[in-house]
Structure formats: C-alpha cells, structure tokens
Structure 1
Amino acid sequence: MTKRPENIIVGISIGDLNGIGSEVILKSLEDTRMLELCTPVIFANVKILSFLKKQLNLNVNLHGIDKVDQILPGKINVLNVWREGVNLEFGKVDENVGSYAVKSFVEATKALKEGTIDVLVTAPINKSNIQSEEFSFPGHTDYLNQELEGNALMLMIQDNLRVGLLTDHVPINEVAKHLTEDLIRKKIQTINQTLVRDFGINKPKIAVLGLNPHSGDNGVIGDEEEKVLKPALKKIFEEGILVFGPYSADGFFGSNQYEKYDAVIATYHDQGLIPFKTLSFGKGVNYTAGLNKIRTSPDHGTGFDIAGKGIADHQSFSEAIYAAIDIFKSRMAYEEMVANPLKIKEKQL
C-alpha cells in the first residue's frame, strides 16, 4: 500500500550527545520542508533537546511524546526514551553519555523491527564509550545485522556514486586472509540485489577493485587477484551478475572509470572511502545494504573537536534522511512489482 510522503515515519537515533549529532539532526529539521517529506521521530528526551536547541540558537518546535502511538505528522516528534537529566560536556568521551546513545539506538531499532517507524537514520556514536555487558558490538551495523534479517553491507552513496566494501573494519594486515570466494560471492550478491530492489536498476554493472598495487600485475605484486578475486568474479559473472574486474585501484577514480558502473566494490575500508569522501564533498551517506529494513547515516563521526560550537555542517545528515525516504519508496515499488507484475505492466501500457 503506497504511503503519502508526509506519513513516511523516519526514526532518528540521537548518537553521542557530547558530539555534533544533536546539532546536525536539529539543523536538518529546522527546514520546515522536511515535514512535507516525512514524519520525524527522534529517540531521546525532549527536555535535553529543548536545552540543546537553545544552546545552539536553532528555530525548531519539538513535540514530546511517551509512546509511538502518539506520533503526529507535521511535527518533530521526540520520543522520551529516558526521563532523567544527563550531564553533558561537549567534546568529552563519556561512558555514561555513551549509554544514552545505546538506549536511543536500541529503542529505535526495536521500533524499526516492529514497523512503527519505516526507516532509521542514525547519528554518529563513539565506538569506545558504548561498550558494556549489555551492548558489546563494535558499532551500529553489527547490532543491526543481529537484529534484522539479512547480511549487512556498508554501501556509501551520493547521487550515482555507490561504493561498497568487501571488508570494512578489518586491520590492513588481515584483509588478504578475509578475501574468500564465499565472502566475495555474498557481498556481490547483496550489492546486486540492493541495486535492483533499492535503487531501481534493472541490470546493474558492478566493478571490483584489486587488493594489490596495479591489481597484482599478473601475480608480480601479490597473488590474491590471480588466486582468489579473478576466479570468483568469473564464476559470479557466468551465473548472470554483471561484475567486472579486478581493476587497479590507484587510477580507477581519477580516470572517472567509476562513472561506467552502478557500484564499485573496494577490497578494504580506506581503498573505498578515501576516494568516496573526496568525490562526495560532504554530501555522502552510509547505507546499510542487505537488511530487511532501511538504515542510513551521515558519512562523518561525532565531531568532538567542534561539538557545541554551532558550526557543524548538517548536509550529510539531511542527505541521509532524503536517501532513506527514496530507498523506502523504491523498495515499496519493487515489492509491489514482485507481488503484482501484471498490474504494473498494465499501468505501463
């Protein structure tokens, strides 16, 4: 059933309150046109957000609620996940503040799972101060992978530039041993399905970057391309997925080769994210592909060095909201097409 734009409910987890998360959230929602696109629900506490909006001199009207059935379209809803006050110290790594980031995120994930929100946009957390006996995950993605069906994959997106990773938060000296045919197959299948279902691309073309300089130079500078990557990509291509490579990473982006493909898969974190962030100019979005629900986040961290100063750029967070809405609509259209292929064909005629 098609939803009207203003009824798409965007859940927002607050992130680290000592960082820039609250600022970029409130700045994004300061533009009243956002309420024509969705109904935002911030999982936090209305008193602390009211304090922060005054501190940052932001013009936003907040609507405090205690239950999800009190969500109102046309309002910036703040669901009170906790009641007590929180002592904030901008720029400080604080375990107590980290625990509130976890409370917000866990409650928002629960609402996403239960369908009371349609999509989730997460503000940045500090990975070191969220760890506890109750929450022992490196970050958002690992927890979502446990709670939601599928195989989570980090996909950085900005317009038609999409960069995925074969390995993400893996030390450089361990990347090679993680590159197996099984991993490569799973990641490529996930990205291919995401491009079809979430971005409306019928026959996606996917490029894969090599691990070594010059993509190994036929085994002269490392043999992972010859022994693992090339055989795996050949099999996957023969099975019907349009995957190409491995390409030499050093000139791939500078020569604009990426423009020929619907997605690029890097073998490790910095190989993909350095060129992505260089090209996306602060508008990039981190999308967790491969799950049965939609989650996006901005492409930056907590920004402790500028927290509380009112100078944080909210563009990436705004883009994360827009991307979540667009992907939600695309996925609904895809699911309708799969469920009623004849009806869709009749509409096209």
Structure 2
Amino acid sequence: MIKNAENIIVGISIGDLNGIGSEVVLKTFEDPRMLELCTPVIFANVKILSFIKKTFELTSILHGIDRLDQIVLGKINVLNVWRDGIDLNFGVNDETVGKQAIKSFVAATKALKEGLIDVLVTAPINKYNIQSEDFKFPGHTDYLDQELEGNALMLMVQDNLRVGLLTDHIPVNEVAKHLTEALIIQKIETVKKALIQDFSINKPKIAVLGLNPHAGDGGVIGKEDEEIIKPTIKKIFDKGTLVFGPFAADGFFGNNQYEKYDAVIAAYHDQGLIPFKTLSFGKGVNYTAGLSKIRTSPDHGTAYEIAGKNKADFNSFKEAVYLALDIYSSRVRYKEISVSPMKIREKQEEKNNR
C-alpha cells in the first residue's frame, strides 16, 4: 500500500554547508505545500540550520530531534547528527565542513538501509574536502553502490528526458578500455529495469550513443563502436530488449532524436551530461538507478561562487524531491502488481511450460 503523503519520510543529507546546499534545501521546504507531500528529515544540526535560515530571512519552523523515532509528521525535522559548532564561511573549501557533510551522508544512508526513511535526497558535496581515512570515495554514488544492493548507475532525469552513462567519473583517455560487452549489458539491463519499475514504462525503448565521432564511421574512426558496442546491442535486442544504436552523438540531441526513446545511454560523462544540462534548464535531477533504495540529487554542485548571496535556484533540488516521491510510488505499485494473484499464476504457468 502507498503511504499517505505526509507519512513518506524524505531523508536529506545536508552536503557542504559552505556551498548552496543548505540554502536550496531550506528554500524548497519554505513552501508549506511541500509538507503536504512528505515529511523531510534533514541530517545536520538544528542550531546551524537555524542560523542559516535567519541568514536568508526564511520563516519556516525547524523541529530539532535526536532520534528518528522522534520524527513529527508534516514538519521540517532536523536530526542532530553532530553537536559541535562549525565556523561557516560561505564559498570556502573547508575540510571540517567536508567531514560534517560525510557524517550527514553516512547517517542518512544508514537510515535508508534500515528503512527508517523512505527515500534519500542528497545536497551537493565537495569531492575534495570529503576525503579521509574513513571515506575514500569519489562521491555519493560510489558509496551508495557499496552500501546498497544492486549496481549503481547515474541516470539524469528531466520530465521525459533520461540520460544514463556507460562510464561516469573516469578520465576520458580511459573510457575505451572500460567498454566491455559485460559492462554494456549490465548498464542497459539496469536502465531497462529502472524504466519499468521506477518510471512505469512497460516496453521501454533505449538508445545507445557511439563512443567515437560518427559512431566510428564503420571502423574508420576507431574500432570500439563496430567491434564492441554494435554487436552487444544486437545480442541484447535479439533477446527482446528494445535497444538501438550506436548513434552518432553529435547530431542525436540537436535533431531531437532523443524524443523517440525512453532513455539514452551515453558512452562517457560529458557526452551525456553536456546535452542533458543544456536541455534541462536547471531543473534536472541526478537519480541513482539500479539500487535497492531510492536516492536523488540536484544536477548542480556546491556553487561556491554564489554561496551565501541568496542567489541559488532551488528548482533542481525541489525536482529531486518530487522525483524521489514519484519513484517511491512507482516502486510500490510495481511490487503490488508483481505479487498480484494473476501475476503469480502467469509466472507459474510460464514455469510449467518450460
């Protein structure tokens, strides 16, 4: 059964407090209508967030709690993950602030694993100041991939535009050697499953972009498209998945080909994210597909250059909350359909006919 709206608990890791994360989080929930859709729990410190709230002249009430069993539905809850004070300097890279960002994120992830929150929305971190002996991950996604069941895949979402990646945070000169048949199959299957269970698309159509210019021009400009990507796509297609490509990346978005597909998988980070961010107009969301739990985040970083200046656009963070709630509802419906008597009988008949 889908919970009543305010009973859906949205955990929020606060990110880098010297960036714009706290600003966009608090501005999102300044609108009281958001509390009719869910109950937020911000993993941080209520005194610090109260100070930041005053800085931006916001009026919402923050409810400080020390344990997750103290959550008040329909209120903005702040779980005190730490109690020591922090000197905030908006726009400054600070290791102490980075440590608190990871404390928030690790605590929120633990709560997500234990089912104490329903979804997780992460505010931006600084990938440099979070590194320590206890946390040696490039970012959120790699840690979540370790802690949660499944295979994490970055899926950028804005309405019906969905862009996934075969490879993400690796140097461009290493992309080609990472493209294997096994990797391509895994990523396509992950995207397909996400489209079905998380976006309620029964027969998804997926496009895959080529690695090289003009998708290799038949092997003239690089062999990877012709020798690895193309035959792998055919193998997957022959098994019933509607996957097509590889397409030349340069014209794929410019001539609106992407509109014919439910998702597009790019070969590497910038090949997918540059056109996505150009088309999403600041409302894009980063969704970590392929995991047992739901995590979303805005599609921007800490934005130190405007931090503390009351200039941050909170639309991407608000969209991240909306998407997390939508996917939560889609997964509940998917599970209900999967265990319906008709589905159980169909699976049994299919098994008997083998």
TM-score for both structures, normalised by structure 1: 0.98
Deviates most, 178-187 or 51-60: 51-60
Deviation by residue 1:140-177 (Cα, 9 ceiling, x = unmatched)? 00000000000000000000000000000011111000
2-side partners of 1:344 and 1:38: how far apart? 32
Q: Which residues of 2 match residues 43-122 of structure 1 at below 5 A?
A: 43-122=43-122
Q: SS of the residue aligned with 2:12?
A: strand
Deviates most, 334-343 or 239-248: 334-343
Q: Is the 8 A contact 1:337 1:344 kept in 2?
A: no
CA distance 1:196–1:250, change in 2 (3 Å): same
Partner of 2:204 in structure 1? 204
Partner of 1:319 in structure 2? 319
Partner of 2:284 in structure 1? 284
Asked if residue 297 in structure 1 is aligned to residue 297 in structure 2, the reply is: yes
Structure 1 stretches of 4+ moved >2 Å: 341-345
Partner of 1:130 in structure 2? 130
Q: Is the 8 A contact 2:156 2:276 kept in 1?
A: yes
Partner of 1:7 in structure 2? 7
Partner of 1:179 in structure 2? 179
Q: Is the 8 A contact 2:297 2:320 kept in 1?
A: yes
Partner of 2:221 in structure 1? 221
Partner of 2:32 in structure 1? 32
Deviates most, 186-195 or 336-345: 336-345
2-side partners of 1:177 and 1:60: how far apart? 51
How far has the Cα of 1:60 moved from its partner?
Answer: 1.3
Deviation by residue 1:250-282 (Cα, 9 ceiling, x = unmatched)? 000010000000000000000000000000000
Q: Is the 8 A contact 2:8 2:38 kept in 1?
A: yes
Partner of 1:154 in structure 2? 154
2-side partners of 1:341 and 1:320: how far apart? 34
Q: Is the 8 A contact 2:338 2:344 kept in 1?
A: no
* Structure 1 gaps, min length 5: none
2-side partners of 1:2 and 1:213: how far apart? 46
TM-score for both structures, normalised by structure 2: 0.96
Partner of 2:348 in structure 1? none
1-side partners of 2:253 and 2:2: how far apart? 38
2-side partners of 1:341 and 1:217: how far apart? 51
How far has the Cα of 1:341 moved from its partner?
Answer: 4.7
Q: Which amino acid aligns with 2:152?
A: A
Q: SS of the residue aligned with 2:198?
A: helix
Asked if residue 169 in structure 1 is aligned to residue 189 in structure 2, the reply is: no
How far has the Cα of 1:344 moved from its partner?
Answer: 11
Q: Which residues of 2 match residues 249-264 of structure 1 at below 5 A?
A: 249-264=249-264
CA distance 1:89–1:205, change in 2 (3 Å): same
Q: Which residues of 2 match residues 262-277 of structure 1 at below 5 A?
A: 262-277=262-277
2-side partners of 1:268 and 1:306: how far apart? 29
Deviation by residue 1:15-58 (Cα, 9 ceiling, x = unmatched)? 00000000000000001000000000000000000000001111
Q: SS of the residue aligned with 1:155?
A: strand
CA distance 1:85–1:270, change in 2 (3 Å): same
2-side partners of 1:341 and 1:136: how far apart? 46
Deviation by residue 1:109-141 (Cα, 9 ceiling, x = unmatched)? 000000000000000000000000111111000
Q: Is the 8 A contact 1:191 1:290 kept in 2?
A: yes
Deviation by residue 1:305-329 (Cα, 9 ceiling, x = unmatched)? 0000011000000000000000000
1-side partners of 2:344 and 2:198: how far apart? 17
2-side partners of 1:283 and 1:25: how far apart? 15
1-side partners of 2:205 and 2:186: how far apart? 16
1-side partners of 2:323 and 2:286: how far apart? 9
**Percent identity (aligned):** 75
How far has the Cα of 1:342 moved from its partner?
Answer: 2.9
2-side partners of 1:111 and 1:150: how far apart? 18
Q: Which amino acid aligns with 2:326?
A: D
2-side partners of 1:223 and 1:78: how far apart? 53
CA distance 1:343–1:217, change in 2 (3 Å): closer
Q: Is the 8 A contact 1:127 1:138 kept in 2?
A: yes
Q: SS of the residue aligned with 1:53?
A: helix
- How many residues are aligned here? 345
Partner of 2:243 in structure 1? 243
Question: For the aligned residues, what is the CA RMSD?
Answer: 1.1
CA distance 1:38–1:180, change in 2 (3 Å): same
Partner of 1:18 in structure 2? 18
Partner of 2:191 in structure 1? 191
Q: Is the 8 A contact 2:120 2:294 kept in 1?
A: yes
Q: Which amino acid aligns with 1:329?
A: S
2-side partners of 1:247 and 1:341: how far apart? 42
2-side partners of 1:124 and 1:30: how far apart? 19
